[in-house]
């Protein structure tokens, strides 16, 4: 700081601000105030969904709803839906496209639609659509 003082007219300006910073730092409380933690939301499904919601979910699955559609309805993952259904004693049916849907998916793919678009139409993943097309011998682009 002495060298700066010798060669600069701004030294007094910097020293003044340095003194202000030191004073402000000394005025700060020595011990930080303890923070109150916000209530943590539970990540466990059992705490997020009521037994009534799980019962409605199982009824919808038995009525033919896909696990993906149920997952979107309750804003949870498909894996969580399948887990809850198994815990409720529901037999999980084979997921994927029916034979008719697979034929329609092949036609749509040949007409230029993407795997993602077809998957959204049939409420399945693009990977499921791809597997169905490969099984039918459709050449992938």
Q: Is the pLDDT of residue 29 over 70?
A: yes
Q: How far is CA 3 from CA 10, 16, 19, 122, in A?
A: 12, 16, 18, 76
Bigger pLDDT: 17 vs 63: 63
Q: How far apart are CA 63 and CA 7, in angstroms?
A: 86
Bigger pLDDT: 99 vs 10: 99
Q: How would residue 45 be classed by pLDDT, with cut points 50, 70 and 90?
A: low
pLDDT in tens, 99-116: 899 999 999 999 999 999
CB 68 within 8 A of CB 92: no
Q: How far apart are CA 13 and CA 5, in angstroms?
A: 10
pTM listed for this prediction: 0.43
The residue extents of the domains of the chain are 1-27, 49-87, 99-135
- The length of the chain is 141
């Amino acid at each position: 700081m002495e060298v700066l003082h010798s060669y600069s007219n701004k030294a007094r300006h910097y020293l003044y601000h340095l003194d202000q910073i030191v004073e402000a730092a000394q005025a700060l409380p020595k011990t930080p105030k303890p923070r109150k933690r916000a209530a943590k939301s539970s990540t466990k499904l059992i705490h997020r969904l009521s037994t009534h919601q799980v019962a409605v979910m199982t009824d919808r699955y038995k009525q033919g709803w896909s696990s993906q559609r149920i997952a979107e309805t309750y804003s949870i993952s498909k894996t969580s839906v399948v887990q809850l259904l198994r815990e409720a004693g529901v037999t999980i049916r084979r997921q994927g496209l029916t034979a008719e849907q697979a034929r329609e998916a092949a036609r749509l793919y040949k007409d230029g639609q993407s795997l993602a678009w077809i998957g959204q139409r049939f409420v399945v993943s693009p990977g499921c659509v791809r597997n169905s097309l490969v099984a039918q011998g459709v050449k992938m682009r």
